[in-house]
Amino acid sequence: MRILRNYFLKEFIAPLLMGLTVLTFIMILGNLVQITNLIINKGVDIISVSKLFLFMIPFLLTYTLPISALAATLLSLGRLSSDNEIIAIRASGINIFRLIIPQLVVGLVLSLVLVIFNDQVIPYAHFASRKTLLEVGIKNPTAALEPGVFINSFQKYILFIYRIEDNKMINVRIYEPQEGKPTRTIVAKRGEFIAVPEKSMVKLKLVDGTSDEPDPENPKNFYKLNFKTYFMSLNLAKAQQQEEIRKKPKDMTIKELLQEAEKLKKESIDPTPLITEIHSKLALAFSCFVFILLGSSLAIITRRREKSINFGIAFLIVGIYYILLISSETLSLQGFIAPWAAMWLPNAILGLIGVILTYRLCAS
């Protein structure tokens, strides 16, 4: 019996590691274009980019580990079933459930590891990634800017940049909304950020343009001022420092989320988004166990050894799971379902299907 359990476990571990490596690499590869763009076109230093790269990996594991566990279950048991090894084992009087227990134990261990990851590692990585991006924004502001969209990251000002080349901006429009007054507009053919990191200050140099300036006799009116060179200071550093201090829900541990929720309750503010985030962390972690429970029975029933088909089944199940998860989260945030019930609903549905299939498989 021990030999068979070790054999089942060995067949499961190899595709698990392979799937985890391949899926993580593919997801990293999808972000390499942006990372390369930061180095080559934006001029961001390699140390900052390396930090962003490292902080990204824990977040990816939240998704790649459950998918890999499901795919490994389908691949390993699917091969054993297609080679009639499962039939031979059952014919000898051994209950198949006893042989898949080690996989379920591995799934439970992986889920508990993901609980720690989602609670401690990922919030730290997410918060550290934000801080690194803020540092990059102070040292090289254009790295955080995107041409062709309105940018409201600066206090008082809204920017629209038609094109960015290296640290140079082409065709810049700056709007300064003023309460009770017309919006002030500055237009320039070219612009350039001048970062002063040691003073936590960012200056903007504009070339060849016009600026709306208040009329001294009537401040509500503006007159056009043509300029060759125009300098203005932006409060980006101050705004970023304020944002850096305050954590977002995804940057918080479960303990911090509970503390924040308690504060909101005392202020008569609905803490549903924070409670939803807590249960989302836990439910996503235990998706590993649910996927292995469901995948083990499906693999034996379908009896397919083809990797492409098994990966297809895995992605179909994962797709259904995340659609249910997103829908449940929406219902929770809108107050239709309690957060705990909403976020655990996808696990409950797929887990129940897995239990029914496993029971029928073992009873037959």
Q: Quick one: pLDDT at residue 132?
A: 76
Same domain for 202 and 97: no
- The CA distances from residue 328 to 119, 258, 337, in Å, are 21, 21, 8
How does pLDDT run across 239-270, given as a tens digit for each residue?
Answer: 444 444 567 788 899 999 999 999 888 888 88
Domain range for 199: 156-234
Same domain for 209 and 82: no
Cβ contact 305:83 at 8 Å: yes
**Residues 60, 206: Cα–Cα separation, whole Å:** 40
The answer to whether residue 64 sits within a structural domain is yes
Cβ contact 157:284 at 8 Å: no
DSSP 3-state of 156:
coil
Pick 165 or 209 by higher pLDDT.
Answer: 209
Same domain for 318 and 183: no
**Number of CB atoms found within 10 A of residue 289's CB:** 25
How does pLDDT run across 296-343, given as a tens digit for each residue?
Answer: 888 888 776 667 777 788 889 999 999 999 999 999 988 899 999 999
Q: In this prediction, what percent of the chain has a pLDDT beyond 90?
A: 28
The answer to whether residue 143 sits within a structural domain is no
Same domain for 265 and 127: yes
How many structural domains are present in the chain?
Answer: 2
Same domain for 328 and 276: yes
Cβ-based neighbours of 221, under 8 Å, separated by 6 or more: 182, 214, 215
The answer to whether residue 148 sits within a structural domain is no
Q: At what angle do helices 307-333 and 46-82 cross, to 10 degrees?
A: 120
The answer to whether residue 146 sits within a structural domain is no
Cβ contact 228:208 at 8 Å: yes
Please give the mean pLDDT across all residues of the chain: 81
Taking the whole predicted model, whether its pTM rises above 0.75 is answered as no
**Residues 322, 70: Cα–Cα separation, whole Å:** 14
Q: Where are the alpha helices (DSSP H) in the chain?
A: 2-40, 46-82, 85-91, 96-116, 122-139, 236-245, 254-266, 272-285, 287-302, 307-333, 339-363
